[in-house]
Amino acid sequence: MSARIVDSASARIRERGIESIKVAELMKSAGLTHGGFYFHFKSRTDLIDKAFARAMEGSVDQWQRLAEMAGPGERLQSIVDYYLAEQHRKDVAHGCALPALSAEVSRSSTSIRRRFSAGLEEMIQVLSEDMRGSSKKAAQRQAIAILSEMVGALLLARAVDRADFSAEILSVAREAVLGTTPRGQRNSQGTTKSAAEHRASGCERCSET
């Protein structure tokens, strides 16, 4: 039960921000009354720490799963396909913690910032294992550049108020990260485009909320 509350809170903070956590509301959504909250957690801050940790864990795990599923040399492609997709843009609650929470992290407790940094370093590590750079350091730097591009693009794509603008930002970032890829001529799987991928590629005629 305690794990269920943490899971629910970890989705909530990504979707609505760390300060959006309300004890009573959270307990109600778990089918409980608020009084019992303090049986599971020391305080609201204690829960927030755990929820944040879970959100970072989930993001790193997802990242590692994608890397492992793809063979070496295809990790970047696999991660980018997930990361810079309309699906991920829309599902903030279950998506990567980096674009959703970084700004708040920079004003949070040292325990949260420490956890954030550790998770970020793991992601860089996973990505850099796929880079053919002259040295390990060079590979890491390449990974940092790619990660920054992806985080920035997803962040902006989510904030913007028009779906075609969002799609264009994601499309540009995919191109920038994977190398020059003329739009509408290839896709990641070598298969036909799905409707979602079509929209994601920035077709101006298709505009939605």
Partner DNA sequence: TGTACATCAGTGAACGCGCGTTCACTGATGTAC
Q: For DNA, which residue of 8, 15, 16, 23 counts as binding (CB under 7 A)?
A: 23
Binding positions for DNA, 40-79, rule CB under 7 A: 43-45
C-alpha count within 13 angstroms, C-beta hemisphere, residue 179: 4
Q: For DNA, which residue of 6, 9, 21, 53 counts as binding (CB under 7 A)?
A: 21
Cβ closest to a copy of itself, residue 40 vs residue 152: 152
Distance set, CA 158 to CA 10, 164, 187 (Å)? 19, 12, 22
User: Is residue 54 within 8 Å of 7, Cβ to Cβ?
Assistant: yes
Q: Is 114 a binder of DNA (CB under 7 A)?
A: no
Phi, psi of 6 (to 5 degrees): -65, -45
Cβ closest to DNA, residue 23 vs residue 70: 23
Q: Is 9 a binder of DNA (CB under 7 A)?
A: no
* Secondary structure (3-state) at 144: helix
Residue 180: CB partners within 8 Å, gap ≥ 6? none
173 touches, from DNA, a copy of itself, none (C-beta below 5 to 8 Å by class): a copy of itself
Q: Is 147 a binder of a copy of itself (CB under 8 A)?
A: yes
Q: Is 35 a binder of DNA (CB under 7 A)?
A: yes
Q: For a copy of itself, which residue of 31, 72, 73, 107 counts as binding (CB under 8 A)?
A: 107
CA distance 94 to 119: 16
Residues that bind DNA (CB under 7 A): 1, 21-25, 27, 31-39, 43-45
